[in-house]
Structure 1
């Protein structure tokens, strides 16, 4: 609200761009709150794998909000400043710079808190697995950079009397917001389509399967992230010959428990087990090789 009032009083394109950015951030907070609440709902008959992907859907909506409300409006302000000019009121600009200074302190504090939360979750890319936290870090980071750009643009406008500096600042803010929106939207899209688990847990699962004496070979291992703490694991393995049905069942139960132990988020585990000799005969059959018999 303070940015909007200050931008209208000063007629500052850069400050109005930052005001639009703040409005977009506020709406995105509503989306993220909905994501946190709805993704915690338990699984039911309609959604047997749970609602973990709700986080990714609402993160996608947040990306659209950043693009439309923040980026496009900032571009509009940049074009308006270049084509129509602006009448500067140095009293209004002084108040606007004061508002941006307070905003920089607030946004910087919020960014530090978000980065502290990332470090608590392991730091680096692993600490940004949560799409809600990833969106918060992106928003706070762009907010700090956007406020800095607005301050520089307004200060140069006051010093030179050239509105082009604020136009450039507005354009830079818009480009920044569009980039962040694209980054968040692409990630949410990948998750909604179905992204495999990280390579490290997948390698651990494959190594575990290969180390089992009852397993002759691992034919396929598929994983998919169902949510922040939920991963689907599907494996097709060939067992060594000579195991009866009871032994096969015991092996399958033990392997599932072992996978759940080494990868805590693997809560949906499916094993397709076959006898190695049966699998080889099936692979060598005429139907599998495409050969035809004839008299």
Structure 2
């Protein structure tokens, strides 16, 4: 298996934030990140295909399983393990991970590789991103309010940084359809550049505030174990539910791959909207970054195995 170069970029950016924090104090990174977030969701609106969404409506049972696991079972599992965490920020990062939508591009690629239901994967990955705009802040509001977070300001930022750009993208779809197809690889690179920018800026603030010094080194390995356990539990539960509902091979693959994924793009941009430039963001993003690497490695391996079995 090949390691996704983007995972190496994530590690490199964290290292840069620790050893070279200077650019965060010289350049207007907060402003650049906010503009980048708006453009990410403008492009997301451009890429949303009404035809793919309409074609996906023919399999409601599959879609319901994926979305329920993404936005209900995952967060409830995180709530259940809260008593096992002594560091509130560490658990909050795990809960944030659990409340996020599914990722789009990698879900569709992996489902295609394994021989799953590609139209259903496109539908679920796309609709999950839209549902997440409302569901992720709603779940997080349970604890942000308790911590004194101003949810009215947060929802206002969601409106003008995310909802309005998506709406503009949807309105301009017909006029820019050719450009969307022509520059698809550019959109992917741009998404990743914004992710790296937000992570760099967040970790600079976290390192300089000394927030990681309050977390014992052993807790990092405990967190890795929790992330791995979360993935295994959700994957196993979806496998059992898909079997009980009589899903065929293609739908089972789609449920497993889409229902276990979490979007790093949405996670990084939502973290900036929900916590701004707070030093805690570095710890909040840590479980998501671990899960991102894990899901690519494990699902990539499973997808290859499905592909070999089908050939």
TM-score of Structure 1 vs Structure 2, range by shorter chain:
under 0.3
Which has the larger helix fraction? Answer: 2
Point out which structure has higher relative CO (alpha carbons under 8 A, 6+ apart).
2
TM-score w.r.t. length of structure 1 = 0.25
Larger radius of gyration: 1
TM-score w.r.t. length of structure 2 = 0.24
